[in-house]
């Protein structure tokens, strides 16, 4: 039953989502936002790093998934986003977790079914897929979507590998 920590990095708000996957069953564990506000950049990065380290220590995830950087129109924003991603990735790597990266399009495709989905559609589908009583905050929903995307990709990889069988003509033959 792997626990997956999904992270939606941001220089002011970093979303996180934690799920447990058991076969086809997915269980919501926790989600939220690391809010760093207007602090100097070095302090923001330290807060992201330390907050994720605390979450990793508490939940002991086996998997870590993060959204890939996208090219923003503003180069300064892209650099800050990259630094926030770096702090999150180092926090995971320091804990011995492999880092899995997914594009925003991949995440939306896996959760909503279309790579062009908007944030409200992602929130709605995360709520539905995890059986939540209310929609999570946008950044937390994005992080949960990243974790769900990783879970989906892992299941797809296992299917392609045949998990104990051989793949022939697009079908798995059990041995």
Bridge-partner residues for 41, per DSSP? none
Contacts of 157 (CB under 8 A, 6+ apart): none
Which residue in the list 22, 58, 62, 139 is annotated as catalytic?
139
- Active-site annotation holds for 76: no
SS3 38: coil
- Active-site annotation holds for 67: yes
Bridge-partner residues for 17, per DSSP? 6, 31
- Whether 22 has a binding-site annotation, put simply, is no
- Whether 67 has a binding-site annotation, put simply, is yes
Let me know if 34 is exposed, middle or buried by CB neighbors in 10 A (0-12, 13-18, 19+): buried
Which residue in the list 22, 43, 67, 142 is annotated as catalytic?
67
**55: closest CA among 22, 100, 11, 14?**
14
- Whether 139 has a binding-site annotation, put simply, is yes
CA distance linking residue 26 with residue 77, whole number of Å: 34
- Active-site annotation holds for 118: no
- Give φ, ψ of 98 to 5 degrees: -70, 145
Query: Which residues participate in the annotated binding site for Mg(2+)?
Result: 8, 67, 139
Q: Which residues are annotated as a binding site?
A: 8, 67, 139
Task: Write out the catalytic residue numbers.
Answer: 8, 67, 139
């Amino acid at each position: 039953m792997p626990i997956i920590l999904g992270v939606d990095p941001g220089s002011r708000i970093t979303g996180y989502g934690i799920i447990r996957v058991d076969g086809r069953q997915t269980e919501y564990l926790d989600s939220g936002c690391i809010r760093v506000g207007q602090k100097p950049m070095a302090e923001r990065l330290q807060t992201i790093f330390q907050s994720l380290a605390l979450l990793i220590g508490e939940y002991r995830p086996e998997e870590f998934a993060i959204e890939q950087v996208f090219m923003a129109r503003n180069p300064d924003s892209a650099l800050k986003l990259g630094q926030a991603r770096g702090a999150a990735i180092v926090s995971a790597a320091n804990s011995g977790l492999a880092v899995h990266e997914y594009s925003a399009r991949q995440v939306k495709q896996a959760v909503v079914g279309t790579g062009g989905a908007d944030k409200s559609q992602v929130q709605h589908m995360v709520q539905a897929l995890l059986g939540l009583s209310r929609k999570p905050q946008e950044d937390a929903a994005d992080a949960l979507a990243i974790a769900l995307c990783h879970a989906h990709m892992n299941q797809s990889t296992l299917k392609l590998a045949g998990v104990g069988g051989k793949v022939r003509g697009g079908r798995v033959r059990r041995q």
